[in-house]
Chains A and B, each alone.
Chain A
Amino acid sequence: MSRFQFPPSIRSRPVYGTLEPRRGTAHLMVADAEGAEALLDLARAAPEMMAKAHVLYIPAAEGNDLADRLRATGPAQFYVGPSYAASVSRLRKALADAHMGLQIYLAGTEGLIGQAMQEAMSAGYPASAIQTEHRGSVARRVQCVHCKGVTENVSVTPFVCSHCGLNLFVRDHYSRRIAAFQGVCVDAEDPGDVPAQEGLYQ
Protein backbone atom coordinates (compact mmCIF):
# COMPACT_ATOMS: atom_id res chain seq x y z
CA MET A 1 0.00 0.00 0.00
CA SER A 2 2.82 2.38 0.80
CA ARG A 3 5.11 1.32 -2.05
CA PHE A 4 5.09 3.52 -5.12
CA GLN A 5 6.36 2.55 -8.56
CA PHE A 6 8.22 5.60 -9.86
CA PRO A 7 7.89 6.01 -13.62
CA PRO A 8 11.11 5.83 -15.66
CA SER A 9 12.95 9.15 -15.66
CA ILE A 10 16.22 10.90 -16.45
CA ARG A 11 19.66 9.76 -15.30
CA SER A 12 20.10 12.26 -12.46
CA ARG A 13 16.91 11.12 -10.74
CA PRO A 14 17.59 8.71 -7.86
CA VAL A 15 16.24 5.18 -7.99
CA TYR A 16 15.53 3.10 -4.91
CA GLY A 17 15.73 -0.58 -4.15
CA THR A 18 14.60 -2.95 -1.44
CA LEU A 19 16.58 -3.21 1.79
CA GLU A 20 18.38 -6.51 2.18
CA PRO A 21 20.25 -7.80 5.21
CA ARG A 22 23.99 -7.64 4.71
CA ARG A 23 26.88 -8.89 6.78
CA GLY A 24 28.43 -6.05 8.69
CA THR A 25 30.17 -5.18 11.93
CA ALA A 26 27.36 -2.73 12.68
CA HIS A 27 24.14 -1.54 11.08
CA LEU A 28 22.94 2.06 10.95
CA MET A 29 19.26 2.34 10.03
CA VAL A 30 17.55 5.64 9.34
CA ALA A 31 13.85 5.90 8.52
CA ASP A 32 11.00 8.34 8.54
CA ALA A 33 7.23 7.71 8.61
CA GLU A 34 6.34 4.56 6.67
CA GLY A 35 10.01 3.84 6.13
CA ALA A 36 9.66 2.01 9.45
CA GLU A 37 7.84 -0.74 7.57
CA ALA A 38 10.92 -1.37 5.44
CA LEU A 39 13.03 -1.69 8.61
CA LEU A 40 10.45 -4.06 10.11
CA ASP A 41 10.69 -6.22 6.98
CA LEU A 42 14.46 -6.18 7.33
CA ALA A 43 14.28 -7.20 11.00
CA ARG A 44 11.89 -9.99 10.10
CA ALA A 45 14.27 -11.31 7.45
CA ALA A 46 17.31 -11.21 9.74
CA PRO A 47 16.30 -10.72 13.40
CA GLU A 48 19.84 -11.37 14.64
CA MET A 49 21.23 -8.22 12.99
CA MET A 50 19.18 -5.96 15.26
CA ALA A 51 21.54 -6.67 18.16
CA LYS A 52 24.16 -4.73 16.21
CA ALA A 53 21.76 -2.05 14.91
CA HIS A 54 21.46 1.63 15.69
CA VAL A 55 18.00 2.82 14.57
CA LEU A 56 17.11 6.48 14.04
CA TYR A 57 13.40 6.93 13.41
CA ILE A 58 11.49 10.09 12.61
CA PRO A 59 7.73 9.39 12.72
CA ALA A 60 5.49 11.33 10.38
CA ALA A 61 3.63 14.34 11.73
CA GLU A 62 0.31 12.72 10.95
CA GLY A 63 0.93 9.92 13.44
CA ASN A 64 0.90 6.28 12.31
CA ASP A 65 3.56 5.74 14.92
CA LEU A 66 5.47 2.57 14.19
CA ALA A 67 8.01 3.37 16.86
CA ASP A 68 6.79 0.76 19.32
CA ARG A 69 6.99 -2.01 16.76
CA LEU A 70 10.48 -0.92 15.75
CA ARG A 71 11.61 -0.85 19.38
CA ALA A 72 10.25 -4.36 19.80
CA THR A 73 12.73 -5.67 17.21
CA GLY A 74 15.41 -5.13 19.86
CA PRO A 75 17.91 -2.71 18.27
CA ALA A 76 21.11 -2.10 20.24
CA GLN A 77 20.38 1.63 20.10
CA PHE A 78 17.01 3.17 19.36
CA TYR A 79 16.23 6.85 18.87
CA VAL A 80 12.97 8.57 17.98
CA GLY A 81 13.39 12.12 16.69
CA PRO A 82 10.78 14.83 16.14
CA SER A 83 12.19 15.96 12.77
CA TYR A 84 15.09 15.33 10.42
CA ALA A 85 16.67 18.64 11.38
CA ALA A 86 16.55 17.67 15.05
CA SER A 87 18.07 14.26 14.33
CA VAL A 88 20.87 15.18 11.97
CA SER A 89 23.52 15.94 14.59
CA ARG A 90 22.96 12.49 16.08
CA LEU A 91 23.23 10.95 12.61
CA ARG A 92 26.51 12.76 12.01
CA LYS A 93 27.88 11.50 15.32
CA ALA A 94 26.88 7.94 14.48
CA LEU A 95 28.61 8.19 11.09
CA ALA A 96 31.71 9.72 12.60
CA ASP A 97 31.96 7.13 15.39
CA ALA A 98 31.43 4.09 13.18
CA HIS A 99 34.16 1.61 12.37
CA MET A 100 35.02 -0.31 9.22
CA GLY A 101 32.26 -2.59 8.04
CA LEU A 102 29.29 -0.38 8.86
CA GLN A 103 26.22 -1.06 6.73
CA ILE A 104 23.78 1.78 6.19
CA TYR A 105 20.04 1.36 5.52
CA LEU A 106 17.85 4.35 4.59
CA ALA A 107 14.08 4.06 4.22
CA GLY A 108 11.13 6.38 3.83
CA THR A 109 10.57 9.59 1.88
CA GLU A 110 12.91 10.88 -0.81
CA GLY A 111 13.78 13.85 1.37
CA LEU A 112 14.91 11.65 4.26
CA ILE A 113 16.82 9.26 2.03
CA GLY A 114 18.49 12.07 0.07
CA GLN A 115 19.61 14.03 3.09
CA ALA A 116 20.85 11.02 5.05
CA MET A 117 22.66 9.80 1.91
CA GLN A 118 24.34 13.17 1.61
CA GLU A 119 25.55 12.91 5.23
CA ALA A 120 26.82 9.38 4.73
CA MET A 121 28.66 10.26 1.51
CA SER A 122 30.23 13.39 2.93
CA ALA A 123 31.36 11.27 5.89
CA GLY A 124 33.20 9.16 3.32
CA TYR A 125 30.98 6.10 2.99
CA PRO A 126 30.94 4.59 -0.51
CA ALA A 127 27.59 4.25 -2.26
CA SER A 128 28.10 0.48 -2.13
CA ALA A 129 27.71 0.53 1.68
CA ILE A 130 24.38 2.37 1.50
CA GLN A 131 21.03 0.78 0.67
CA THR A 132 17.81 2.69 0.15
CA GLU A 133 14.13 1.87 -0.03
CA HIS A 134 11.35 4.34 -0.75
CA ARG A 135 8.17 4.12 1.33
CA GLY A 136 5.32 6.51 1.93
CA SER A 137 4.89 10.01 0.58
CA VAL A 138 6.22 10.91 -2.87
CA ALA A 139 6.63 14.57 -1.85
CA ARG A 140 10.00 16.09 -2.75
CA ARG A 141 12.57 18.48 -1.45
CA VAL A 142 12.92 21.14 -4.15
CA GLN A 143 15.59 23.78 -4.48
CA CYS A 144 14.61 27.04 -6.15
CA VAL A 145 17.30 27.61 -8.80
CA HIS A 146 16.74 31.35 -8.51
CA CYS A 147 16.96 32.09 -4.76
CA LYS A 148 18.56 28.73 -3.73
CA GLY A 149 16.02 28.20 -0.95
CA VAL A 150 14.84 24.61 -0.39
CA THR A 151 11.14 23.91 0.05
CA GLU A 152 10.27 20.67 1.85
CA ASN A 153 7.35 18.35 1.13
CA VAL A 154 6.44 19.53 -2.34
CA SER A 155 3.77 17.26 -3.79
CA VAL A 156 2.38 19.48 -6.57
CA THR A 157 3.75 21.34 -9.56
CA PRO A 158 3.94 24.23 -10.04
CA PHE A 159 4.23 25.47 -6.46
CA VAL A 160 5.15 28.74 -4.79
CA CYS A 161 8.74 28.91 -3.52
CA SER A 162 8.51 29.21 0.27
CA HIS A 163 11.49 31.59 0.23
CA CYS A 164 11.17 33.99 -2.73
CA GLY A 165 7.57 33.45 -3.83
CA LEU A 166 8.27 32.60 -7.49
CA ASN A 167 6.03 30.00 -9.16
CA LEU A 168 8.24 26.97 -9.67
CA PHE A 169 7.92 24.03 -12.02
CA VAL A 170 9.32 20.86 -10.40
CA ARG A 171 11.89 19.12 -12.58
CA ASP A 172 13.19 15.56 -12.31
CA HIS A 173 16.77 16.92 -12.38
CA TYR A 174 18.25 16.05 -8.98
CA SER A 175 21.39 17.08 -7.11
CA ARG A 176 22.74 14.57 -4.60
CA ARG A 177 24.97 17.29 -3.15
CA ILE A 178 21.97 19.46 -2.34
CA ALA A 179 19.65 16.44 -1.83
CA ALA A 180 16.95 18.21 -3.78
CA PHE A 181 15.15 18.38 -7.09
CA GLN A 182 15.33 21.56 -9.14
CA GLY A 183 12.53 24.11 -9.27
CA VAL A 184 12.46 26.61 -12.17
CA CYS A 185 10.23 29.64 -12.65
CA VAL A 186 7.23 28.48 -14.68
CA ASP A 187 5.92 31.85 -15.84
CA ALA A 188 9.17 33.68 -16.66
CA GLU A 189 8.18 34.12 -20.30
CA ASP A 190 4.55 34.97 -19.56
CA PRO A 191 4.49 36.54 -16.09
CA GLY A 192 1.31 35.64 -14.22
CA ASP A 193 0.35 32.88 -16.64
CA VAL A 194 0.74 29.98 -14.22
CA PRO A 195 -0.49 26.52 -15.31
CA ALA A 196 -2.99 24.73 -13.08
CA GLN A 197 -1.40 22.89 -10.18
CA GLU A 198 -1.33 19.12 -10.42
CA GLY A 199 0.01 16.28 -8.30
CA LEU A 200 3.58 15.22 -9.09
CA TYR A 201 2.59 11.90 -10.63
CA GLN A 202 -0.83 12.80 -12.00
Chain B
Amino acid sequence: MTIQFNDETFHDDYTFRNSDWAIQRFPFPFHEDSYMYSVNLEPHLSLRPGSVYEKTFDVDEHYVAEMKDRARVLAEDPLRCQSLPHMTLAGWDLLELIMVSKAREYPDLFELHRDGDRWHWINKPLGIEQKFVFLDETTLPCGPLEYITRQAQGDYALLDQRDDNLWMDAGMVTTQADWSLDFDIGMNFFEWHAPVPMASELGVFQRALKFLLNLQQGAPVRRLNWTMTVNPLLDTSPENYHKWGVQKTALTPENVGSKQHLRVELQTLFRLPRSNALAFPIRCYLIRLEDLVTVPKWGRRLHRVLRDLPEELATYKGFIRNRPMIVEYLSQFDDGTPTSPGVFPD
Protein backbone atom coordinates (compact mmCIF):
# COMPACT_ATOMS: atom_id res chain seq x y z
CA MET B 1 0.00 0.00 0.00
CA THR B 2 1.30 3.43 -0.87
CA ILE B 3 0.15 6.40 1.15
CA GLN B 4 -0.44 9.76 -0.46
CA PHE B 5 0.78 12.26 2.13
CA ASN B 6 -1.29 15.43 2.52
CA ASP B 7 0.19 18.90 2.28
CA GLU B 8 -1.77 20.52 5.12
CA THR B 9 -1.52 22.59 8.31
CA PHE B 10 -2.78 22.18 11.88
CA HIS B 11 -2.65 25.87 12.80
CA ASP B 12 -3.51 29.31 11.42
CA ASP B 13 -5.16 28.49 8.07
CA TYR B 14 -6.01 24.91 9.14
CA THR B 15 -5.89 23.19 5.78
CA PHE B 16 -6.01 19.74 7.45
CA ARG B 17 -8.45 17.38 5.73
CA ASN B 18 -9.34 13.71 6.05
CA SER B 19 -9.71 11.73 2.84
CA ASP B 20 -12.58 9.26 2.52
CA TRP B 21 -10.05 6.57 3.42
CA ALA B 22 -9.10 8.38 6.63
CA ILE B 23 -12.76 8.95 7.55
CA GLN B 24 -13.65 5.27 7.12
CA ARG B 25 -10.69 4.16 9.30
CA PHE B 26 -11.17 6.84 11.96
CA PRO B 27 -10.89 5.31 15.46
CA PHE B 28 -14.40 6.07 16.65
CA PRO B 29 -14.17 5.60 20.43
CA PHE B 30 -17.71 4.76 21.56
CA HIS B 31 -18.78 1.12 21.52
CA GLU B 32 -22.22 1.98 22.89
CA ASP B 33 -24.53 5.00 23.13
CA SER B 34 -23.12 6.30 26.43
CA TYR B 35 -19.72 6.98 27.96
CA MET B 36 -18.09 6.75 31.38
CA TYR B 37 -14.46 6.33 32.38
CA SER B 38 -13.14 2.83 32.48
CA VAL B 39 -9.75 1.15 32.31
CA ASN B 40 -10.75 -0.27 28.88
CA LEU B 41 -7.33 -1.75 28.09
CA GLU B 42 -7.13 -4.49 25.48
CA PRO B 43 -4.18 -6.30 23.88
CA HIS B 44 -2.59 -4.23 21.11
CA LEU B 45 -3.00 -6.97 18.55
CA SER B 46 -3.24 -6.43 14.82
CA LEU B 47 -6.90 -6.01 13.98
CA ARG B 48 -8.76 -5.41 10.70
CA PRO B 49 -6.42 -4.78 7.76
CA GLY B 50 -6.41 -1.09 6.91
CA SER B 51 -7.63 0.01 10.33
CA VAL B 52 -5.56 2.12 12.71
CA TYR B 53 -5.26 -1.01 14.85
CA GLU B 54 -3.47 -3.03 12.19
CA LYS B 55 0.11 -1.85 12.72
CA THR B 56 2.24 -1.35 15.83
CA PHE B 57 2.57 2.36 14.98
CA ASP B 58 -0.03 3.55 12.49
CA VAL B 59 1.27 5.76 9.67
CA ASP B 60 -1.35 7.65 7.70
CA GLU B 61 -1.81 10.46 5.18
CA HIS B 62 -1.10 13.10 7.85
CA TYR B 63 2.39 11.80 8.69
CA VAL B 64 4.55 14.34 6.89
CA ALA B 65 2.37 17.33 7.85
CA GLU B 66 2.24 16.24 11.50
CA MET B 67 6.02 15.98 11.66
CA LYS B 68 6.32 19.49 10.21
CA ASP B 69 3.88 20.72 12.85
CA ARG B 70 5.94 19.04 15.58
CA ALA B 71 9.12 20.73 14.34
CA ARG B 72 7.31 24.08 14.37
CA VAL B 73 6.05 23.61 17.95
CA LEU B 74 9.48 22.48 19.17
CA ALA B 75 11.17 25.47 17.59
CA GLU B 76 8.80 27.73 19.52
CA ASP B 77 9.03 25.79 22.78
CA PRO B 78 11.88 23.28 23.22
CA LEU B 79 10.52 22.31 26.67
CA ARG B 80 7.96 20.09 24.90
CA CYS B 81 10.64 17.40 24.70
CA GLN B 82 12.38 16.55 27.96
CA SER B 83 14.10 13.54 29.43
CA LEU B 84 15.36 13.25 33.00
CA PRO B 85 18.97 12.03 33.10
CA HIS B 86 18.18 8.41 34.00
CA MET B 87 15.82 7.98 31.01
CA THR B 88 18.29 7.92 28.11
CA LEU B 89 18.31 4.13 27.95
CA ALA B 90 14.52 4.10 27.72
CA GLY B 91 14.87 6.55 24.83
CA TRP B 92 17.07 4.03 23.00
CA ASP B 93 14.55 1.29 23.74
CA LEU B 94 11.83 3.41 22.16
CA LEU B 95 13.97 4.25 19.16
CA GLU B 96 14.57 0.57 18.56
CA LEU B 97 10.89 -0.32 18.96
CA ILE B 98 9.76 2.32 16.48
CA MET B 99 12.49 1.73 13.90
CA VAL B 100 12.16 -2.05 13.95
CA SER B 101 8.35 -1.94 13.81
CA LYS B 102 8.14 0.62 11.03
CA ALA B 103 10.79 -1.03 8.87
CA ARG B 104 8.98 -4.36 9.24
CA GLU B 105 5.45 -3.10 8.72
CA TYR B 106 6.07 -0.36 6.15
CA PRO B 107 9.03 -1.64 4.11
CA ASP B 108 8.19 0.71 1.24
CA LEU B 109 8.54 3.75 3.54
CA PHE B 110 11.20 2.83 6.11
CA GLU B 111 14.37 0.72 6.11
CA LEU B 112 16.59 -0.33 8.99
CA HIS B 113 19.88 -2.09 8.31
CA ARG B 114 21.75 -3.40 11.34
CA ASP B 115 25.30 -4.63 11.51
CA GLY B 116 25.92 -5.25 15.19
CA ASP B 117 25.53 -1.87 16.87
CA ARG B 118 26.08 0.00 13.60
CA TRP B 119 22.63 0.96 12.36
CA HIS B 120 21.49 2.58 9.13
CA TRP B 121 18.02 4.14 9.13
CA ILE B 122 16.18 5.35 6.06
CA ASN B 123 12.97 7.33 6.35
CA LYS B 124 11.73 7.93 2.81
CA PRO B 125 8.67 10.12 3.45
CA LEU B 126 10.77 12.63 5.43
CA GLY B 127 13.89 12.20 3.29
CA ILE B 128 16.09 11.22 6.25
CA GLU B 129 19.04 8.86 6.14
CA GLN B 130 21.10 8.31 9.29
CA LYS B 131 23.99 6.03 10.11
CA PHE B 132 24.65 5.79 13.83
CA VAL B 133 25.91 3.55 16.60
CA PHE B 134 23.12 2.11 18.72
CA LEU B 135 23.39 3.29 22.36
CA ASP B 136 25.98 5.95 21.44
CA GLU B 137 24.30 9.34 21.79
CA THR B 138 27.16 11.19 20.15
CA THR B 139 26.29 9.58 16.82
CA LEU B 140 22.79 11.11 16.62
CA PRO B 141 21.98 14.79 16.08
CA CYS B 142 19.96 14.83 19.35
CA GLY B 143 18.93 12.40 22.09
CA PRO B 144 17.33 9.11 20.97
CA LEU B 145 13.85 10.02 22.26
CA GLU B 146 13.80 13.35 20.43
CA TYR B 147 15.40 11.86 17.33
CA ILE B 148 12.84 9.12 16.78
CA THR B 149 9.76 11.02 17.93
CA ARG B 150 10.47 13.81 15.46
CA GLN B 151 9.74 11.03 12.96
CA ALA B 152 6.74 9.36 14.61
CA GLN B 153 3.17 10.65 14.81
CA GLY B 154 1.65 11.12 18.25
CA ASP B 155 2.99 12.14 21.63
CA TYR B 156 5.27 9.85 23.60
CA ALA B 157 5.76 9.53 27.33
CA LEU B 158 8.39 7.26 28.89
CA LEU B 159 7.39 5.93 32.29
CA ASP B 160 10.04 4.73 34.72
CA GLN B 161 8.95 1.93 37.05
CA ARG B 162 10.07 2.04 40.70
CA ASP B 163 8.52 1.96 44.19
CA ASP B 164 5.44 0.16 42.80
CA ASN B 165 4.57 3.21 40.74
CA LEU B 166 5.11 4.66 37.27
CA TRP B 167 6.93 7.98 36.91
CA MET B 168 6.59 10.22 33.89
CA ASP B 169 10.27 10.96 33.53
CA ALA B 170 10.57 11.71 29.81
CA GLY B 171 8.39 12.70 26.91
CA MET B 172 7.76 14.35 23.56
CA VAL B 173 4.48 16.22 23.81
CA THR B 174 3.23 18.53 21.06
CA THR B 175 -0.25 17.11 20.25
CA GLN B 176 -1.67 16.94 23.75
CA ALA B 177 -5.17 17.35 25.09
CA ASP B 178 -4.30 20.23 27.40
CA TRP B 179 -1.64 18.85 29.74
CA SER B 180 1.88 20.08 30.29
CA LEU B 181 4.89 17.76 30.12
CA ASP B 182 7.07 20.51 31.56
CA PHE B 183 4.86 20.71 34.64
CA ASP B 184 4.08 17.00 34.97
CA ILE B 185 7.54 15.55 34.29
CA GLY B 186 8.77 13.66 37.36
CA MET B 187 5.26 12.95 38.66
CA ASN B 188 3.96 9.52 39.52
CA PHE B 189 0.86 7.88 37.98
CA PHE B 190 -1.55 9.29 40.57
CA GLU B 191 -0.04 12.78 40.55
CA TRP B 192 -0.18 13.36 36.81
CA HIS B 193 -3.76 12.06 36.68
CA ALA B 194 -4.79 14.18 39.68
CA PRO B 195 -6.76 16.81 37.71
CA VAL B 196 -9.03 14.19 36.06
CA PRO B 197 -12.47 14.36 37.74
CA MET B 198 -14.48 11.35 38.90
CA ALA B 199 -12.07 8.65 37.74
CA SER B 200 -10.25 8.44 41.09
CA GLU B 201 -13.51 7.77 42.89
CA LEU B 202 -14.27 5.01 40.40
CA GLY B 203 -10.94 3.34 41.27
CA VAL B 204 -9.89 3.53 37.63
CA PHE B 205 -6.32 4.66 38.27
CA GLN B 206 -5.58 2.12 40.96
CA ARG B 207 -6.71 -0.74 38.74
CA ALA B 208 -4.95 0.63 35.69
CA LEU B 209 -1.67 1.08 37.59
CA LYS B 210 -1.82 -2.42 39.02
CA PHE B 211 -2.30 -3.79 35.53
CA LEU B 212 0.45 -1.70 33.97
CA LEU B 213 3.05 -2.53 36.61
CA ASN B 214 2.72 -6.12 35.44
CA LEU B 215 2.77 -5.40 31.71
CA GLN B 216 5.09 -7.85 29.99
CA GLN B 217 7.48 -7.41 27.11
CA GLY B 218 5.92 -8.37 23.79
CA ALA B 219 2.37 -7.95 25.11
CA PRO B 220 1.48 -4.29 24.49
CA VAL B 221 -1.99 -2.97 25.28
CA ARG B 222 -4.13 -0.15 23.93
CA ARG B 223 -7.09 2.02 24.82
CA LEU B 224 -8.88 5.02 23.37
CA ASN B 225 -9.47 8.38 24.97
CA TRP B 226 -11.29 11.35 23.46
CA THR B 227 -12.17 15.00 23.72
CA MET B 228 -13.54 17.78 21.52
CA THR B 229 -11.39 20.40 19.75
CA VAL B 230 -12.42 23.49 17.81
CA ASN B 231 -10.37 23.64 14.57
CA PRO B 232 -7.93 20.84 13.74
CA LEU B 233 -5.37 22.14 16.21
CA LEU B 234 -2.90 19.47 17.28
CA ASP B 235 -1.13 21.67 19.82
CA THR B 236 -3.89 22.23 22.35
CA SER B 237 -1.30 22.76 25.08
CA PRO B 238 -1.82 24.59 28.34
CA GLU B 239 1.31 26.55 27.44
CA ASN B 240 -0.54 28.13 24.50
CA TYR B 241 -4.07 28.04 25.92
CA HIS B 242 -4.13 31.84 26.23
CA LYS B 243 -3.73 31.90 22.44
CA TRP B 244 -6.03 29.08 21.29
CA GLY B 245 -8.72 29.18 24.01
CA VAL B 246 -10.52 32.03 22.30
CA GLN B 247 -11.07 29.87 19.21
CA LYS B 248 -13.75 28.03 21.17
CA THR B 249 -15.89 31.17 20.97
CA ALA B 250 -15.80 31.20 17.14
CA LEU B 251 -18.27 28.33 16.88
CA THR B 252 -21.65 29.16 15.28
CA PRO B 253 -24.59 26.96 14.25
CA GLU B 254 -23.44 27.52 10.66
CA ASN B 255 -19.80 26.47 11.10
CA VAL B 256 -20.05 23.89 13.90
CA GLY B 257 -20.03 20.99 11.43
CA SER B 258 -16.77 22.08 9.84
CA LYS B 259 -14.95 23.66 12.79
CA GLN B 260 -15.81 21.29 15.62
CA HIS B 261 -13.69 18.15 15.69
CA LEU B 262 -13.87 14.94 17.64
CA ARG B 263 -10.36 14.31 18.94
CA VAL B 264 -9.44 10.70 19.67
CA GLU B 265 -6.27 9.39 21.25
CA LEU B 266 -5.10 5.90 20.47
CA GLN B 267 -3.02 5.17 23.55
CA THR B 268 -0.70 2.18 23.55
CA LEU B 269 1.65 0.86 26.22
CA PHE B 270 4.77 -1.23 25.67
CA ARG B 271 7.22 -2.73 28.17
CA LEU B 272 10.74 -1.79 27.06
CA PRO B 273 13.45 -4.45 27.17
CA ARG B 274 16.60 -2.78 28.59
CA SER B 275 15.23 -0.03 30.82
CA ASN B 276 12.14 -1.89 32.04
CA ALA B 277 10.34 1.43 31.47
CA LEU B 278 6.98 1.69 29.72
CA ALA B 279 6.61 3.48 26.42
CA PHE B 280 3.32 5.32 26.27
CA PRO B 281 2.52 6.59 22.77
CA ILE B 282 -0.55 8.82 22.59
CA ARG B 283 -1.61 9.16 18.97
CA CYS B 284 -4.11 11.89 18.13
CA TYR B 285 -6.73 11.58 15.38
CA LEU B 286 -9.01 14.45 14.43
CA ILE B 287 -12.27 14.38 12.47
CA ARG B 288 -14.67 17.22 11.75
CA LEU B 289 -18.27 16.55 12.70
CA GLU B 290 -19.57 16.90 9.14
CA ASP B 291 -17.19 14.13 8.06
CA LEU B 292 -18.01 11.96 11.05
CA VAL B 293 -21.75 12.01 10.36
CA THR B 294 -21.17 10.53 6.89
CA VAL B 295 -21.04 7.29 8.87
CA PRO B 296 -24.69 7.20 10.04
CA LYS B 297 -24.03 4.99 13.05
CA TRP B 298 -21.35 7.36 14.35
CA GLY B 299 -23.52 10.45 13.92
CA ARG B 300 -26.39 8.89 15.85
CA ARG B 301 -24.17 7.57 18.60
CA LEU B 302 -22.05 10.70 19.11
CA HIS B 303 -25.25 12.70 19.49
CA ARG B 304 -26.45 10.45 22.28
CA VAL B 305 -23.08 10.28 24.05
CA LEU B 306 -22.52 14.03 24.11
CA ARG B 307 -26.13 14.79 25.02
CA ASP B 308 -26.03 12.48 28.03
CA LEU B 309 -22.44 13.08 29.21
CA PRO B 310 -22.15 14.15 32.89
CA GLU B 311 -21.54 17.87 33.18
CA GLU B 312 -18.25 17.38 35.05
CA LEU B 313 -16.81 15.47 32.12
CA ALA B 314 -17.96 18.01 29.55
CA THR B 315 -16.36 20.72 31.69
CA TYR B 316 -13.10 18.82 32.14
CA LYS B 317 -12.94 18.03 28.43
CA GLY B 318 -13.36 21.71 27.75
CA PHE B 319 -16.51 21.87 25.60
CA ILE B 320 -19.22 22.66 28.13
CA ARG B 321 -19.84 26.11 26.63
CA ASN B 322 -20.36 24.67 23.15
CA ARG B 323 -22.16 21.48 24.09
CA PRO B 324 -25.69 22.77 23.35
CA MET B 325 -24.66 23.87 19.86
CA ILE B 326 -22.85 20.62 19.14
CA VAL B 327 -25.74 18.48 20.39
CA GLU B 328 -28.22 20.55 18.38
CA TYR B 329 -26.14 20.05 15.25
CA LEU B 330 -25.76 16.32 15.77
CA SER B 331 -29.44 15.84 16.56
CA GLN B 332 -30.19 16.29 12.83
CA PHE B 333 -28.35 13.05 12.22
CA ASP B 334 -30.03 11.01 14.94
CA ASP B 335 -33.32 9.49 13.79
CA GLY B 336 -33.63 7.55 17.05
CA THR B 337 -33.05 4.13 15.52
CA PRO B 338 -30.91 1.66 17.48
CA THR B 339 -27.17 1.45 16.84
CA SER B 340 -25.24 -1.77 16.39
CA PRO B 341 -22.73 -2.82 19.09
CA GLY B 342 -19.03 -2.01 18.63
CA VAL B 343 -17.09 0.88 17.17
CA PHE B 344 -16.90 0.03 13.48
CA PRO B 345 -19.23 1.39 10.77
CA ASP B 346 -22.11 -0.91 9.76
| A contact residues vs B (CB 8 Å cutoff) | 10-13, 143, 145-146, 148, 166, 171-178, 182, 184-185, 188-191
Contacts and interface: CB of A to CB of B under 8 A. Distances in A.
16 contacts: A11-B200, A13-B194, A143-B183, A145-B241, A146-B239, A146-B241, A166-B242, A175-B186, A176-B186, A177-B185, A185-B241, A188-B241, A188-B245, A188-B246, A189-B245, A189-B321
B180 interface: yes
Interface in B204-229: none
A171 B179 CA distance: 13
Given A12-B190, A174-B191, 12 more contacts: A10-B194, A10-B195, A13-B194, A145-B238, A146-B242, A148-B79, A173-B183, A173-B195, A176-B187, A188-B244, A189-B246, A190-B249
A174 B187 CA distance: 9
B183 A178 contact: yes
A189 B186 contact: no
Interface in B192-206: 192-195, 200
Contacts of B191: 11-12, 174, 176
B68 interface: no
Interface residues of B, number: 27
Interface string B232-274: 0000001111111110110000000000000000000000000
A166 B238 CA distance: 13
Contact of A191 (B187, B195, B246): B246
For chain A, what secondary structure do more than half of its interface residues adopt (helix, strand, loop), or is it mixed?
Answer: loop
B334 interface: no
Contacts of B321: 189
B184 interface: yes
B248 A145 contact: no
B182 interface: yes
A189 B187 CA distance: 29
Most buried by B among A11, A143, A174: A11
A111 B41 CA distance: 39
Contacts of A171: 195
For chain B, what secondary structure do more than half of its interface residues adopt (helix, strand, loop), or is it mixed?
Answer: helix
B239 A145 contact: yes
A175 B184 contact: yes
B227 to A, nearest CB: 15
B183 A185 contact: no
Contacts of A143: 183
Contacts of B241: 145-146, 184-185, 188
A10 B316 CA distance: 14
B192 A185 contact: no
Contacts of B239: 145-146
A178 B194 CA distance: 16
A185 B187 CA distance: 22
Nearest to A191: B246
B273 to A, nearest CB: 28
Given A145-B180, A146-B239, A175-B183, A11 B194 contact: yes
A11 B190 contact: yes
Given A10-B195, A12-B191, A188 B242 contact: yes
A190 B247 CA distance: 10
A13 B182 CA distance: 17
